[in-house]
Amino acid sequence: MILFAALLVNANWIQVGQVNRLKKEPTNARQITERLERQRGGIIAGDEELAISVPVDDEYKYQRQYPAGQLYANVTGYYTLFTAAGLERSEDVFLSGDDDRLLASRVTDLFTGEERRGGTVVTTIVPRLQQVATEALAGRKGAVVALDPRTGAILAMVTSPTYDPNTLASHDESAATDSYQGLSTDKNQPLLNRPAQQTYPPGSTFKLITAAAALSSGRYEPDTRVPAPDELTLPQSTTVLPNFDGETCGDGETDTLIHALTISCNTAFGELGIELGDDAVRAQAEAFGFNSTIEDFPLQQARSIFPNDLDGAQTAQSAIGQFNVQATPLQMAEVAAAIGNGGVRMKPYLVSELRGPDTKRISRTEPTVLSKPITPEVAAKLTTMMQSVVTSGTGRKAQISGVNVAGKTGTAEHGDGEDPHAWFVGFAPASAPEVAVAVIVEDGGGELGTGGAVAAPVAQKVMQAALDTQR
């Protein structure tokens, strides 16, 4: 009787107490069959289908397909026999048709005899920009992010190298497993969504934040002269901070803040960081989003970092985006977008609408203000300084005929014996921005390569395409 009682308790515990855990178990064959027998909703961008479910003649009724292959893989993610990633994961409940907002559709299906279907996720991605950004990277390892600075909508999000999610969505378990194993162990990390998941030293693009802190302090103006020696001996150290390629800034002793940014003078901004102090620079970085993540963002993201408890030498290095400062391309696109938007930082978003199986709109994303890291006056001054970078400084290759462009280049060191990363961030048109971008080309700053020579042309093509598309 004791054993029968134990069996009864155990059976009830499994069927009641553990039902939710067992139901969500990835290897639960019944769950796999149930979800793959249902027509999953699509993921679209404009008029282009990024992910669809098509009928198949095998043990499952529908096969997930990605018509554009690699082009949107880091956005859509993948939906496999056992797991999911990207939007396929974050929007799974809606795509599968289980979302409470689709209850009316499910009730209707009961009366009409229709099978349950999932809803459609409409992204903010502009297909033309995604294509142009991918082609501009030309297979080089790196990332591109394009935002609408007025709303925060993500217009393009490109990572390289990437992968074909169709190989992971195969109903052949062995083939799908082999594909995943190959991708997950690839040293180039094609499964990594570099725009949001990978942090890099931002290099001289971070000088925008240091300049913002200086202007916000009320002690500096764009034409204020600041110390700018050919070499800066770091405090409590014998280490010397040089300028790029040993160049001289200004008269060799001082330079104006605007010209120091235009030519990307290391010593001027290192000295400026020391003068402001690490707390002031950190506070400005955090106002732009460092040391935090975006709440409810649908893709996995890494936290951009401005370190704590810096001494004078570390503060000088951090003020030029080195030492232990780390940023995602998405974070640096946010910095550029906030400056271009008059000092207002909008929340980046990737999903613009959710639609029911009948194509009727269920919900729409409304632009949200995240913070106001700088005043409109400081934003205007920074914009003028960034225009100088593009018209007569290190960012000349970002110029667009007939359009004023604001930007900042960066060439970021990241390891002994490694070529530096090449960066560019900016927005256009400078007076009323319609697009903000961040570009990084990993190890792209070797030999004569710099952020201005390597990353700026990529950004120029994306900004030009964005302006052409919106007009």
Q: Report d(CA 164, CA 181) in Å as an integer.
A: 14
- HSE-up of residue 224 (Cα within 13 Å, Cβ side): 15
| Start-to-end C-alpha separation, the chain | 80
Tokens 């009727």 belong to residue = 360
| Cis amide prior to 429 (ω within 30 degrees) | yes
What angle, 0 to 180 degrees and rounded to 10, lies between the N-to-C axes of helices 207-216 and 278-288? Answer: 110
Distance of CA 177 to the CA centre of its chain: 28
Element (H, E) at 145: strand 142-147
Q: Report d(CA 243, CA 161) in Å as an integer.
A: 32
Element (H, E) at 231: strand 231-233
Question: Could you give the dihedral angle defined by the CA atoms of residues 46, 48, 51 and 54, in that order, rounded to the nearest 10 degrees?
Answer: 130
| Closest CA relative to residue 458, chosen from 144, 126, 129 | 144
| Closest CA relative to residue 156, chosen from 471, 461, 409 | 461
Looking at 233-363, list the stretches that DSSP marks H as alpha helix, in order from N- to C-terminal side: 257-262, 266-276, 278-288, 312-319, 329-340
Residue by residue, what is the 3-state secondary structure of 3-45? HHHHHHHHHHHHHHHCHHHHHHCCCCHHHHHHHHCCECCCEEE
Residue 115, number of CB atoms within 10 A of its CB: 12
| Cis amide prior to 161 (ω within 30 degrees) | yes
Type of residue numbered 89: R
Residue 415, number of CB atoms within 10 A of its CB: 9
Catalytic site includes residue 174: no
Cβ–Cβ under 8 Å, residues 405 and 388? no
Question: Among 204, 304, 352, 388, which one carries the catalytic annotation?
Answer: 204
Type of residue numbered 319: A
Distance of CA 342 to the CA centre of its chain: 21
Catalytic residues: 204
